[in-house]
Amino acid sequence: MSDVETASSTKLKLRYGTPLPVQAVPRIPVIALGMSLGLFLAVTFILCVGFDLLFPDRAMYESWLRLLPGFTWLSWPSFFLGLAESFGYGWYVALIFGPLYNFFAARINQRR
């Protein structure tokens, strides 16, 4: 067999081979991320408030006063405000991070 025949038979083998599966671009569903992060931060807020009530000498509510605008220690309206703000912070992260991740994942996958 000549080199030309070997080269052409190699091309034919590659052409007729089983195509590799194309991987889809990994995407983050923003709504699922927002609900997950929002509920995670809301539950974390509830646990931290509970911890502060159980162990007042180790309380970290002063941090909440700085992180959550309008939050004061502790009344029911303030508790629900902190809960809503914690949930909102989760959505803020999701609405910024999710589309940014999806954008850059698509760009990197195009280059491959």
How many angstroms separate the CA atoms of 48 and 53, rounded? Answer: 9
How many angstroms separate the CA atoms of 64 and 78, rounded? Answer: 11
CA 21 to chain centre: 27
- With a cut of 80, say whether residue 39 has pLDDT above it: yes
CA 72 to chain centre: 29
Q: Mind listing the pLDDT tens digit for each residue in 59-98?
A: 888 888 899 999 998 899 999 999 999 999 999 999 999 9
Place of tokens 């569903």: 29
Of the listed ranges 16-20, 77-81, 95-99, 103-107, the least confidently predicted one is 16-20
Enumerate the H helices of 1-112 as residue ranges.
3-15, 30-54, 61-67, 76-111
